[in-house]
Chains A and B, each alone.
Chain A
Amino acid sequence: AQSVTQLGSHVSVSEGALVLLRCNYSSSVPPYLFWYVQYPNQGLQLLLKYTSAATLVKGINGFEAEFKKSETSFHLTKPSAHMSDAAEYFCAVSGHGGFKTIFGAGTRLFVKA
């Protein structure tokens, strides 16, 4: 069985500050891990994915995430927040093969000017 826990339903940062969105997973098999982003009034789009290659994964818009097996974590970071980063972010996990991707509850990111 697989599951994802996102810590914090809302995160607020100032423009230019570090963004850190937390995700912990549970998986009985080596996982594939993902971050998806949902901008207001838009569909979800893939931000980045981990599929057992490099543990530090770089995505679009300056985001990156690090797979830490010992901590069962896959936290999303960005060094400097931009107003356009305001959105809802979902962490997700699936087994190899990609079927039945399980999503976390989401974290809404607010960016203050």
Chain B
Amino acid sequence: GAGVSQSPSNKVTEKGKDVELRCDPISGHTALYWYRQSLGQGLEFLIYFQGNSAPDKSGLPSDRFSAERTGESVSTLTIQRTQQEDSAVYLCASSRDRELEKLFFGSGTQLSVL
């Protein structure tokens, strides 16, 4: 596609429910990244994928968070048993092999846990 697409754009859920956030990277981009942006704070690195592999999962806040990527394309970030502190904007970015350092960001998913 023309840009990084994230869905849903907004998600309201109840505490304790599971949520799935989706990211469609730019076609041909091999690297994919998830960040979390909380109110008044910067971007917190969560995880990145090179192809379908995730060499660095160190940023995932807890074992309630998981992510996968299939077909070197779509990625899903899953949060189980959501907590109020999970409320944030979840941003996805992708980059291409020849210029891995240049990230293209999606518009994010605003997650609100009530």
Contact = CB atoms under 8 A, between A and B. Distances in A.
Do A and B bind? yes
Contact of A99 (B4, B100, B104, B106): B100
Interface string B35-62: 1000011110100101000011001000
B107 interface: yes
Interface size class of B (residues with CB under 8 A): 20 to 34
Nearest to A6: B42
A42 B9 CA distance: 12
Interface in B62-92: 91
Contact of A42 (B41, B95, B103, B107): B107
Contacts of A9: 40
A103 B34 CA distance: 13
Contact of B56 (A49, A51, A99): A99
Interface in A74-113: 90, 92, 94, 97-106
Contact of B45 (A32, A44, A90, A100): A100
A86 to B, nearest CB: 17
A25 interface: no
B102 A49 contact: yes
B4 A90 contact: no
B106 A43 contact: yes
A88 to B, nearest CB: 10
A43 B107 contact: yes
B43 A90 contact: yes
Interface size class of A (residues with CB under 8 A): 20 to 34
B31 interface: yes
A105 B41 contact: yes
Contact of A44 (B31, B40, B91, B101): B91
Given A90-B43, A106-B42, A99 B31 contact: yes
B101 A103 contact: no
Interface of A: 6, 9, 32, 34, 36, 42-46, 49, 51, 90, 92, 94, 97-106
5 contacts: A36-B103, A44-B105, A46-B104, A99-B100, A101-B103
Interface of B: 4, 31, 33, 35, 40-43, 45, 48, 50, 55-56, 59, 91, 93, 95, 99-108
